[in-house]
Amino acid sequence: MYKKIIVPIELGALHSGERAFRKASTLLDTGGEIILLNVVEDVPTYVAIDLPAELLQNAIDDAQEKLGMLIRTSGIPAMIEIGHGRPAHSILATAETHDADLIIVASHIPDFSNYFIGATADRVVRHAKCSVLVDRQR
């Protein structure tokens, strides 16, 4: 069905990401590729001054480790990519860079500020140039 699928995974909601990852494996063409993406958000300069210098590298290392463990425990082959900046922007940029034909994004049950789907999922759905599957998490 799909040749290249991007699966953004938030480390704080790894179980939701695992569910989306497993779903991606069922939608993948033979010879296709899944890219697990974690986005490390930039820290504002006025905050970064008070944080340890290695904080960003630690976040990247943690993401690599947890996504690698997810691949090993699931047995599903995938590539790992770490993005930087705003999550929606990084997800969209990764999809374009890899010429993805599907993004599977997990969305939690929203609050009043983002009633229909989560804020990141909303931005991805609105601006993606490929198909987007929103995996609603309960």
Mean pLDDT over 27-55 rounds to 84
The proportion of the chain whose per-residue pLDDT surpasses 70, expressed as a percent, equals 86
Choose between 111 and 37: higher pLDDT: 37
In this prediction the pTM is 0.87
Q: What is the mean pLDDT of the chain?
A: 88
Do residues 103 and 130 make contact, with C-beta atoms less than 8 angstroms apart? yes
Do residues 11 and 126 make contact, with C-beta atoms less than 8 angstroms apart? no
Domains along the chain with CATH numbers: 2-136 (3.40.50.620)
In which region does residue 99 sit, left (phi positive, over 0), alpha (psi from -120 to 50) or beta (all else)?
left
Residues 50-95 pLDDT 10s: 677 788 889 999 999 999 999 999 999 999 999 999 999 999 999 9
**pLDDT of 119:** 81
